[in-house]
Chains A and B, each alone.
Chain A
């Protein structure tokens, strides 16, 4: 089933840099969709459109539609706060907020007005387990999150997103600063997550794209070059440009 339908989406930043050129694609529910390609291709920009985080950036022009569950989220009347709770995001650098591990997880829920202690505690345990970090932090929940290692912090960031029970999870190179073991743990968590969530991942390497993709989209300079089944994309790409990139001829 299609969770997200992007129709002819174009975007240009006010300084004229990275932009999207008439992107149209459909993103499936309960699967990992990978957006890959060289830097400056528009992958991150597209992610930031999906939770309207681009509202924080100066954008010169923006056209097209993004339908999530049939509703156009680019509509000015959209409740962006509710949208961001439904569409969570994990960033490239693990940024834990300057508070304890527990408070990092409950931050979003408390903003949403949740005050019941039992509910908050339940969310902390559930989301930390889902992010495969519970066993490592369960005895030190009140310690500052910054004391954790980078890999642990990134999984706390993932748990923080999961605590809000989103439907879509956006991950923008979530393992770019992590060691291979931490990366493995994050990828394993993703594999579990796709059973219940729609996952959209910008990988930090072609190898990671190939490992994780159910569906894959190749972006080059703001254009969607090829989009299809992940397995086929990385074994038998249809486009010459995709093949060149996967083979490492540029990028």
Chain B
């Protein structure tokens, strides 16, 4: 009887283990499936002309250069605003702020900022940057809108990275006559940098792939030339994909999937860079 029960327990254990493994493997299916599907459908569209040419024939032919360049500009613009602000905020929260009502309010704001749907950011950007501050539909307005959306990601991952630097380093540094800022600059930031970079890239990657926030603030349906200043509107990969998938009749399907593939590669490349930075830093870490 006891033997039977024991064997039963073993098979339950094995069954449970198998189920959990299966679940874990299932999570891989969507990502691999998506990538393969897009690659299969859009791979044939990729050519030098596609990557460096302008669209023509009502976007039904030609390349997507302005959308690629536009997404690059928007990503850089977002980085210019969100990275310094985000890191500064993270340093304040991790190194200077004490736990009081004021900092709890800041944290609450950041958490809620992360939960706002992206289309709401778009409307907010339209109201504040495009109309009220009169930046117009422009790279500037779109970058600022994307920055607000990216901030919570950068702040929370940077704060996490700063907090993971051992407290003893700070104590030792202070005991050797360092000021708090010298300690942060020479020890804490240096050690937290890989973690911060990872957060920054992940945040920017999300910004690069978003459509809704730039919809009303900076994205153009079609432009015959590349943007010349931050006050120009721009084409962008995600919005271009939306346009050619829904707004243009008789659109060749390769171009749609080709555009999706370029966007996917853009975003996945950033992801891979972030992963490499993180794993390198982990291997090198001395504590």
Contacting residues, chain B, for A97 (C-beta < 8 A):
169, 172-173, 187
Taking the closest CB of chain B, its distance from the CB of A161, in whole angstroms, is: 7
Complex Cα–Cα for A84 and B287 (A): 25
- Tell me whether B171 and A161 are in contact (CB under 8 A): no
Complex Cα–Cα for A97 and B166 (A): 10
Could you tell me how many residues of chain A have their Cβ less than 8 Å away from some Cβ of chain B? 24
Tell me which residues from 164 to 195 in chain B have a Cβ below 8 Å from any Cβ of chain A: 166, 168-179, 182, 186-187, 190-191
Complex Cα–Cα for A98 and B246 (A): 55
**A181 in the interface, Cβ–Cβ < 8 Å?**
no
**A155 in the interface, Cβ–Cβ < 8 Å?**
no
**B21 in the interface, Cβ–Cβ < 8 Å?**
no
- Tell me whether B169 and A91 are in contact (CB under 8 A): no
**B286 in the interface, Cβ–Cβ < 8 Å?**
yes
Taking the closest CB of chain B, its distance from the CB of A26, in whole angstroms, is: 24
Smallest CB gap from B187: residue in A: A97
- Tell me whether B171 and A111 are in contact (CB under 8 A): no
Contacting residues, chain B, for A107 (C-beta < 8 A):
173, 176, 178, 186
Contacting residues, chain B, for A93 (C-beta < 8 A):
168
Taking the closest CB of chain A, its distance from the CB of B167, in whole angstroms, is: 9
- Tell me whether A160 and B286 are in contact (CB under 8 A): no
Smallest CB gap from A53: residue in B: B175
A-B contact pairs, 20 of them (CB 8 A): A51-B175, A53-B175, A56-B171, A84-B174, A84-B175, A84-B177, A85-B176, A91-B168, A91-B172, A91-B175, A93-B168, A95-B168, A97-B169, A97-B187, A98-B169, A98-B190, A98-B286, A108-B176, A111-B176, A112-B177
- Tell me whether A164 and B286 are in contact (CB under 8 A): no
Taking the closest CB of chain B, its distance from the CB of A117, in whole angstroms, is: 19
- Tell me whether A89 and B286 are in contact (CB under 8 A): no
Contacting residues, chain A, for B190 (C-beta < 8 A):
98
**A88 in the interface, Cβ–Cβ < 8 Å?**
yes
Chain A at the B interface: SS class: helix
Across the interface, A53 reaches (CB within 8 A) one of B169, B171, B191, namely: B171
Chain B at the A interface: SS class: helix
Tell me which residues from 34 to 72 in chain B have a Cβ below 8 Å from any Cβ of chain A: none
Complex Cα–Cα for A164 and B176 (A): 8
Complex Cα–Cα for A111 and B175 (A): 12
Taking the closest CB of chain A, its distance from the CB of B240, in whole angstroms, is: 45
Question: Which of B169, B170, B175: most chain A CB closer than 10 A?
Answer: B175
**A144 in the interface, Cβ–Cβ < 8 Å?**
yes
Complex Cα–Cα for A164 and B170 (A): 18
Contacting residues, chain A, for B172 (C-beta < 8 A):
91, 95, 97, 157
Contacting residues, chain B, for A108 (C-beta < 8 A):
176-178
Question: Which of B172, B179, B287: most chain A CB closer than 10 A?
Answer: B172
Across the interface, B182 reaches (CB within 8 A) one of A82, A111, A146, namely: A111
Complex Cα–Cα for A119 and B259 (A): 61
A interface residue numbers (CB < 8 A to B) = 51, 53, 56, 81-82, 84-85, 88-89, 91, 93, 95, 97-98, 107-108, 111-112, 144, 146, 157, 160-161, 164
Answer whether A91 and B182 are a contact pair too, CB < 8 Å, given A146-B287, A161-B176.
no
Taking the closest CB of chain B, its distance from the CB of A13, in whole angstroms, is: 15
- Tell me whether B177 and A81 are in contact (CB under 8 A): yes
Smallest CB gap from B172: residue in A: A95
- Tell me whether B286 and A146 are in contact (CB under 8 A): yes
- Tell me whether B171 and A91 are in contact (CB under 8 A): yes
Complex Cα–Cα for A77 and B145 (A): 46
- Tell me whether A56 and B286 are in contact (CB under 8 A): no
Contacting residues, chain A, for B182 (C-beta < 8 A):
111
Smallest CB gap from B285: residue in A: A98
Smallest CB gap from A90: residue in B: B175
Complex Cα–Cα for A35 and B286 (A): 33
Taking the closest CB of chain A, its distance from the CB of B196, in whole angstroms, is: 16
Complex Cα–Cα for A97 and B287 (A): 10
Smallest CB gap from A112: residue in B: B177
Across the interface, A144 reaches (CB within 8 A) one of B179, B187, B286, namely: B286
Question: Which of A85, A108, A112, A161: most chain B CB closer than 10 A?
Answer: A108
Taking the closest CB of chain B, its distance from the CB of A247, in whole angstroms, is: 35
Taking the closest CB of chain A, its distance from the CB of B141, in whole angstroms, is: 42
Across the interface, B176 reaches (CB within 8 A) one of A56, A82, A84, A98, namely: A84
- Tell me whether B191 and A98 are in contact (CB under 8 A): yes
Smallest CB gap from B165: residue in A: A98
Complex Cα–Cα for A56 and B174 (A): 9
- Tell me whether A98 and B287 are in contact (CB under 8 A): yes
Smallest CB gap from A82: residue in B: B177
Across the interface, A89 reaches (CB within 8 A) one of B168, B175, B187, B191, namely: B175
